[in-house]
Amino acid sequence: MGIFDFLSGQFIDVIHWTDDTRDTLVWRFEREGHEIKYGAKLTVREGQAAVFVHEGQLADVFTPGLYMLETNNMPVMTTLQHWDHGFRSPFKSEIYFVSTARFTDLKWGTKNPIMLRDPEFGPTRIRAFGTYTIKVTDPALFLREIVGTDGEFTMDEIRFQIRNIIVQEASRVMASSGIPVLDMAANTGDMGRLIAAEVSKVLAEYGLVMPEFYIENISLPPAVEAALDKRTSMGLAGDLGKFTRYSAAEAMSQAAQQPGGGAGMGAGLGMGMGVAMANQLSGQMAQPGPWGAPQGSPAQAAPPPPPPVEHVWHVAENGETDGPFSRADMGRMVKQGRLRRETLVWTPGQDGWLPAEDVRELAQLFTVLPPPPPPPPPSGA
């Protein structure tokens, strides 16, 4: 080291850190030989903390403010350097600046689907993603547990570990919440706070905390989404007969406007529409007139009505659901003692879960008892 480098090292008196990367968590103040002059000025800005490490041992932590590095404000360093005996020469230490500001707009997402049991759809897979913020709350602990001797520690070096913790806790909270998948979008705020609290418990061991956690989207597998879209479309269509006739008429109009082969296609669609209309007209003519006789064609036997749809039930017990079960299955469960009057059951179209004894079709299962046994034969017989 040249004489000018040595003199500049001896006369340095300002130690500070300014950062505009928005990605650096820890930065080490670099000095030749790690020599810090006694009486130097240390500036710690808001959103920072300064950690002194002397000969591999963590000595002091300074919060925001202006400090003179001398005996009165460095009790630990005074003991280490024996300044109480008038020692005034430069001392060799490492100074780490730790950012205590929030790091925002950090991304997270589920790499694999989360398996859960939905009250309406049964076993279901969902995916989720969003953003979160992170903050250092204990600079000394963070330096010991995570940073070590890294001179410039960025958010990218710990992002993967934090994401794994988030996915683990988010999967557990979502799967155990009991909230139906279709209602999760209305509860993302509360669910996000629960996940942030659970993740912060783990991050506290690293000197970190998660102040905010946001769920931007919760999605179902493509096949389930397609089924929901069909279900929604059927509800919007209303009268399926009118919807079919309207769709056929629209297709015929679009085919007629096509050049070239549109005429043949339009003719084919027209024939199809004509056959459909003829069948509909013949059906109307076959209906009985005001005097009970058919209108036009000979009377035809009415087709039998469709068989009634058998109800099936789901059973809820100990926080879990099972089913579906037919009425015959429910009867066997009553005989086996697996279904009781107070057991909660649900069937499509029913408003929420109800005790089995409050469902008319199931209440009869508890009142049907076998007849009394026959009397024993007379002893003389």
51 and 126, same domain (yes or no): no
Identify whether residues 59 and 108 lie together within a single domain.
no
- pLDDT given for residue 106 in this prediction: 93
Range of the domain at 37: 3-99
Q: Which two tokens stand for residue 63?
A: 């919060």
- Is 21 within the bounds of a domain? yes
Asked if 347 and 312 count as a contact pair (C-beta separation under 8 A), the reply is yes
Answer whether 116's CB lies under 8 Å from 174's CB: yes
Q: Which residue is associated with the tokens 């998660």? A: 210
Same domain, residue pair 317 and 340:
yes
Please indicate, yes or no, whether residues 123 and 72 belong to a single structural domain of this protein: no
Q: Quick one: 132 and 210 in the same domain?
A: yes
Residues near 33 by beta carbon (within 8 Å), at least 6 away in sequence: 1, 9, 92
The phi and psi torsions of 47 (rounded to 5 degrees) equal 85, 15
pLDDT, position 351: 80
In this structure, is residue 121 part of a structural domain? yes
User: Largest Cα–Cα distance in the chain?
Assistant: 132
- In this structure, the answer to whether residues 86 and 170 fall within a common structural domain is no
- The answer to the question of residue 381 being in a domain is no
Query: Residue 370 — φ and ψ, nearest 5°?
Result: -70, 150
In this structure, the answer to whether residues 14 and 42 fall within a common structural domain is: yes
Contact (Cβ atoms closer than 8 angstroms) between residue 362 and residue 330? yes
Whether residue 87 is found in the same domain as residue 110: no
**Within a domain: 239:** no
- Only one residue has tokens 């000025």, namely 41
CA dihedral of 318, 321, 322, 324, whole degrees rounded to 10 = 140
Tell me how far apart the alpha carbons of residues 218 and 376 are, in angstroms, rounded to a whole number. 68
Under 8 Å between Cβ of 96 and 27: yes
Are residues 123 and 219 located together in one domain of the fold? yes
Q: Domain end: 203, 224, 245, which one?
A: 224
The verdict on residue 259 lying in a domain is no
For residue range 232-260, what is the model confidence (pLDDT) as tens digits?
776 666 666 666 776 777 777 777 676 65
Under DSSP, the state recorded for 135 is E
- What is the C-alpha to C-alpha distance for residues 87 and 38, in angstroms, rounded to an integer? 9
Please report the sign of the dihedral spanned by the C-alpha atoms of residue 364, residue 366, residue 367, residue 369. positive
Residues of the chain below pLDDT 50: 1-11, 83-87, 261, 263, 290, 293, 296-299
Q: What is the DSSP string of 180-193?
A: -GGGGGGGHHHHHH
Q: Is residue 245 part of a domain?
A: no
Q: Within this chain, do residues 27 and 78 fall inside the same structural domain, yes or no?
A: yes
pLDDT of residue 91: 66
Asked if residue 257 is part of any domain, the answer here is no
Residues 38 and 89: beta-carbon distance below 8 Å: yes
Which DSSP letter does residue 137 get?
S
- What CATH number is given to the structural domain containing 219? 3.30.479.30
pLDDT tens-digit readout, 319-336: 888 888 888 888 888 888
pLDDT of amino acid 356: 85
Q: Which pLDDT score, from 0 to 100, does residue 109 have?
A: 92
- Does 220 lie in the same domain as 109? yes
Please check whether residue 234 lies inside any domain of the structure. Answer: no
**CATH number assigned to the domain comprising residue 339:** 3.30.1490
Last residue of a domain, one of 168, 201, 224: 224
Is pTM beyond 0.85? Reply is: no
pLDDT value of residue 362: 81
Q: Which of 177, 198, 224 is the last residue of a domain?
A: 224
Number of domains, the chain: 3
Residue written as token pair 């909270």: 173
How confident is the model at residue 210, as a pLDDT? Answer: 94
Cα-only R_g, the chain:
39
* 138 and 165 housed in the same domain: yes
Q: Which amino acid is at 238?
A: G
- How do residues 98-157 score in pLDDT, each as one tens digit? 999 999 999 999 888 888 888 877 888 899 999 999 999 999 999 999 988 888 999 999
